[in-house]
Amino acid sequence: MKRPFDVFLAVAAGLMLAFLLLPLLALFLRVPPGTLLSQLGSDVARDALLVSLKTSAIAHAFILGIGTPAAYLLATRRFPGRDLLVTLTELPLVLPPAVAGIALLAAFGRAGLLGGTLETAGITIPFTQAAVVLAVIFVASPFYVRLGIAAFESVDQSFLEASRTLGASSRRTFLRVALPLAAGELSAGSALAFARGLGEFGATIMFAGSLQGRTQTLPLAIYAELDLNFDVALAVGAFLVLVSISVLLAVKFLPSWTRFTSTSLFAGAPSRSS
Amino acid sequence: MYAAASLTEVFQAIDPNAAFNFAGSDDLATQIKENAPADVYAAASPKYPEELFKAGLVEKPQVFATNRLVLIVPTSNPAGIESVADLGRKGVKLVIGAEGVPIGDYTRKVLENMGATNVLTNVVSQEDDVKGVVGKVALGEADAGFVYVTDVKPVAAKVRAIELPDSAQARVEYEIAVVKATDHRGAAQEFVDRVLGKDGRRALLKAGFGLP
């Protein structure tokens, strides 16, 4: 009785896996590796790589710098409206990217909500790298905040209490106890957010436009080169697949690796202070 | 029916029941090369239909309409653009079609004809089809953009069109062809005939196109 069902499960899993992997494999088989490499050196690909790296790095600094304390607050404090707040920060996760694009235009565009204020301050955001950075932060930060909340929640609360009863300030408790203990899962969240930001397309093309060397990121370069030079598009695509695989490996192995080192470090701490 | 983005309104008027895929002519050509299930291909330039014809993917293309380029600005005209010459002023945000996209190539041709290629330094975005240019100007995010005269009507309340001199115009010809791999040859030929026939010509004129 059980056997046919097991066969069904195996077939379903096999189909699923084949469907997911075949297109990615095809990307690499379509053009020889040498061509892929040389196309990655083309002007368009190089410019896009630089734009992507620069905007992703700036966006990521903001995501980590603001997202970490925000996640800590949402994980450790209980206050009215907290659940609503957590849900709201998750909204961009499920929002279609095109909606993110027009929403950003509606807020920061010249004719947008803050457009007039920004303009009098001499700032215009659409069509600039700042627009790319905002789009990346908007779509990627929820990934980090969401995993960050989970990371801080999974830290054993008795450690935090112990730290406080031993006289550490809440700032010191955050920096010396909570942060090291959550570091592994925070890194995983950080890697996921970085990957999502690097792949950002819909919001960027609507809000920042597409100009080589300025706002044309790697995904936008794929779109622009699709008809002009399919090989460049393929090469950039293959490159992004490799980045994604590295991120996935990082997400898988970072938490267990740092959990091991940080807990062993922490294990020595109480004995020293006692 | 795979048709250039600039044909969106007029083709829907010619045959409201047909299933359309509107996009940049170049993207559509790529899709047809990749065996997309197209029956008819209508492009905003002869370049891609002729290419596909040489590759044996479509029947002999026929010219069915012509178009002109205009410069559009948001109704509020924040940069005070009155002519192509104004586009060269510092800080003007100009949006054009990307190279390789018909509207992008025509725009460069027009600027060349006017000896005004210097305004290209003010380009803030190169869009993948003409609707991207129209949208960003109509939203008021860009100061100006080059589009086909037929794109102006649907957004007439939001943009103002500035005519370009005849001497500057590029030859914008639309070509249509039946895709050889079609499973619906009869219906495809019927649609082509309708576009080339009296009803099609009337609808094209009404939408602002020229006739060959």
Instruction: Write down the pLDDT at residue A2.
Output: 67
Q: Per residue in A124-136, pLDDT tens?
A: 899 999 999 999 9
Query: Would the CA dihedral through B170, B172, B84, A127 be positive or negative?
Result: negative
What mean pLDDT is predicted for residues A37-65? 94
SS3 content of chain A, % helix, strand, coil (to 5): 85, 0, 15
Taking the model in full, what pTM does it have?
0.82
Cβ atoms of residues B152 and B145 within 8 Å: no
Cβ atoms of residues A240 and A199 within 8 Å: yes
* Residue with the larger pLDDT of the pair A262 and B61: B61
What mean pLDDT is predicted for residues A132-148? 95
What mean pLDDT is predicted for residues A82-88? 92
Q: Per residue in A228-273, pLDDT tens?
A: 888 899 999 999 999 888 888 888 887 776 655 554 444 444 443 3
Q: What angle do CA B98, A133, A49 make, to 5 degrees?
A: 55
Instruction: Write down the pLDDT at residue A1.
Output: 54
What mean pLDDT is predicted for residues A191-202? 93
The 10 Å Cβ neighbour count of residue B112 is 12
**Could you tell me the domains of chain B?**
2-66+173-206 (3.40.190.10), 69-168 (3.40.190.10)
Give, in order, the Cα–Cα distances in Å from A166 to each of A156, A173, A181, B162.
16, 10, 18, 75
Residue B210: DSSP 8-state: B
Closest CA to B200 of B54, B62, B31: B62
Nearest-CA distance A59 → chain B (Å): 21
Q: Per residue in B141-163, pLDDT tens?
A: 999 999 999 999 889 999 999 99
Count A/B contacts: CB-CB distance under 8 Å: 55
Instruction: Write down the pLDDT at residue B102.
Output: 87
Beta strands B172-178 and B40-43 are antiparallel
Helical segments of chain B, H only: 8-14, 25-33, 47-54, 102-113, 130-138, 185-196, 198-206
Nearest-CA distance A249 → chain B (Å): 33
Q: Is A79 exposed, middle or buried (0-12, 13-18, 19+ CB in 10 A)?
A: exposed
Instruction: Write down the pLDDT at residue A257.
Output: 64
Query: What is d(CA A200, CA A139) in angstroms, rounded to the nearest whole number?
Result: 7
Instruction: Write down the pLDDT at residue A264.
Output: 45
The string over A12-21, giving b where at least 16 C-beta atoms fall within 10 Å of a residue's C-beta and e elsewhere, is eeeeeeeeee
What mean pLDDT is predicted for residues A176-183? 90
The residues pairing with B2 across neighbouring beta strands, listed in sequence order, are B21, B41
The SS3 of residue B172 is strand
Residue A114: what residue type? L
Partners of residue B41 in chain A, C-beta under 8 Å: none
Confidence of residue A46 (pLDDT cuts 50, 70, 90): very high
Q: Is A229 exposed, middle or buried (0-12, 13-18, 19+ CB in 10 A)?
A: middle
Query: What is d(CA B87, CA B71) in angstroms, rounded to the nearest whole number?
Result: 10
The SS3 of residue B152 is coil
Instruction: Write down the pLDDT at residue A148.
Output: 95
Residue A35: what residue type? T
Instruction: Write down the pLDDT at residue A258.
Output: 61
Query: What is d(CA B35, CA A110) in angstroms, rounded to the nearest whole number?
Result: 42
Cβ atoms of residues B208 and B155 within 8 Å: no
Residues A110, B127: C-beta atoms closer than 8 Å: no
Asked if the C-beta of B140 comes within 8 angstroms of chain A's C-beta atoms, the answer is yes
Residues A109, B125: C-beta atoms closer than 8 Å: no
| Closest Cβ–Cβ partner in B100, B125, B140 for A127 | B125
Closest CA to B91 of A131, A215, A128, A118: A128
A230: nearest CA partner in chain B: B30
Cα B55 off chain centre by: 23
Instruction: Write down the pLDDT at residue A57.
Output: 95
What mean pLDDT is predicted for residues B156-177? 93
Helical segments of B64-209, H only: 102-113, 130-138, 185-196, 198-206
Pick the range with the lowest mean pLDDT from A101-110, A224-233, B71-80, B105-114. Answer: A224-233
Residues A227, B30: C-beta atoms closer than 8 Å: yes
Say how many residues make up chain B: 212
pLDDT at A153 over 50: yes
A204: nearest CA partner in chain B: B125
Residue A112: what residue type? G
Q: Per residue in B125-137, pLDDT tens?
A: 999 888 899 999 9
Residues B139, A209: C-beta atoms closer than 8 Å: no
B120: nearest CA partner in chain A: A211
The residues pairing with B71 across neighbouring beta strands, listed in sequence order, are B146, B162
Pick the range with the lowest mean pLDDT from A238-252, B89-103, B169-183. Answer: A238-252
**Could you tell me the domains of chain A?**
54-75+83-268 (1.10.3720.10)
